[in-house]
């Protein structure tokens, strides 16, 4: 077993019909760019009724059809937000929690200490979060998962992973290990993935291998570490 293997994103998602929501953070092989990806999937009509919208450097999730919204509390939020040299990406409204803490001079971890998994029994969907910190022409990043410690949702287990950025390597964390009822939560460390030099190759590898019925939206951003220039790609199934 090669513990340092880097897997193509397609290999990690194509056999899983319900990955749920996923975050990938990493660095291109040539070392020139940071890469961030966020995607959502959905099984219910409420979950599938969503699109991504860009608002400057922020990404917002909105209903595709306002008339069909049943419960916006866990499906409408800003997954990507920036404060100064830090870029936050999460699968829920904890984006705002982390943003507020960072803006106040506090930490990523401190913000997430105030949150826990989603109150959607019996699934208790984990909250997954990431943050890139850019400095001196490079970056480091953190990833977090908050998940239930038992089937009753009586306790929250908190895991944080910190990484230096390595050329060609990324890490992938997602909400569900597979489809099921209740949905089985992601287990273990974030998975090691290949980050290609070209953004369109990365977009294609993710989108084409996500389950066609359940995939909803994908957003990918590459950031040039020397110039700060941003390249984005966004796919909305509902458009």
Q: What is the pLDDT of residue 84?
A: 97
Decide: 156 and 149 in contact? Cβ < 8 Å: yes
- Which residues in the chain land under pLDDT 70? none
Q: What is the pLDDT of residue 170?
A: 98
% helix, strand, coil for the chain, step of 5: 15, 40, 45
The closest of 5, 74, 80 to 37, measured between CA atoms, is: 80
Could you tell me which residues are beta bridge partners of residue 167? 27
Residue 44 has what DSSP assignment? S
d(CA 137, CA 79): 25
d(CA 238, CA 207): 14
Q: What is the pLDDT of residue 67?
A: 80
Q: Has this prediction a pTM greater than 0.85?
A: yes
Q: What is the pLDDT of residue 72?
A: 76
d(CA 183, CA 207): 22
The listed CATH number (3.50.50.60, 3.30.930.10, 2.40.37.20, 3.60.20.20) that belongs to domain 9-236: 3.60.20.20
- Sort residue 180 into left (φ over 0), alpha (ψ -120 to 50) or beta: left
Decide: 163 and 144 in contact? Cβ < 8 Å: no
Which residues 6+ apart lie within 8 Å of 44 measured at CB?
A: none
- pLDDT tens digits, 190-235: 999 999 999 999 999 999 999 999 999 999 999 999 999 999 999 9
Strands (E), the chain: 22-27, 33-41, 50-55, 58-63, 80-83, 86-90, 127-135, 138-148, 156-164, 169-174, 191-194, 215-224, 230-236
d(CA 22, CA 175): 7
Q: What is the pLDDT of residue 124?
A: 97
Handedness of CA 183, 189, 194, 200 (dihedral sign): positive
Q: What is the pLDDT of residue 80?
A: 98
């Amino acid at each position: 077993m090669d513990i340092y293997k880097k897997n193509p994103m397609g290999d990690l998602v194509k056999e899983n019909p319900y990955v749920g929501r996923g975050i990938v953070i990493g660095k291109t092989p040539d070392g020139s760019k940071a890469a961030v990806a966020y995607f959502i999937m959905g099984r219910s009509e409420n979950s599938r009724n969503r699109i991504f919208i860009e608002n400057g450097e922020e990404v917002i999730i909105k209903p595709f059809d306002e008339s069909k919204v049943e419960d916006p509390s866990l499906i409408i939020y800003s997954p990507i937000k920036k404060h100064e040299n830090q870029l936050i990406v999460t699968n829920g409204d904890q984006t705002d929690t982390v943003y507020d803490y960072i803006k106040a001079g506090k930490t990523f971890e401190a913000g997430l200490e105030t949150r826990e998994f989603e109150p959607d029994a019996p699934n208790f969907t984990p909250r997954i979060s990431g943050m890139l910190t850019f400095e001196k022409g490079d970056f480091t990043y953190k990833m977090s998962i908050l998940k239930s410690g038992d089937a009753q949702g009586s306790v929250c287990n908190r895991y944080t992973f910190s990484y230096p950025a390595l050329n060609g390597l990324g890490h992938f964390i997602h909400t569900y290990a597979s489809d099921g009822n209740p949905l089985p939560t992601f287990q273990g460390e974030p998975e090691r993935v290949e980050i290609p030099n070209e953004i369109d190759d990365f977009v294609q590898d993710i989108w084409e291998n996500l389950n066609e019925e359940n995939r909803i939206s994908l957003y990918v951003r590459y950031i040039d570490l020397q110039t700060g220039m941003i390249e984005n790609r966004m796919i909305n199934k509902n458009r």
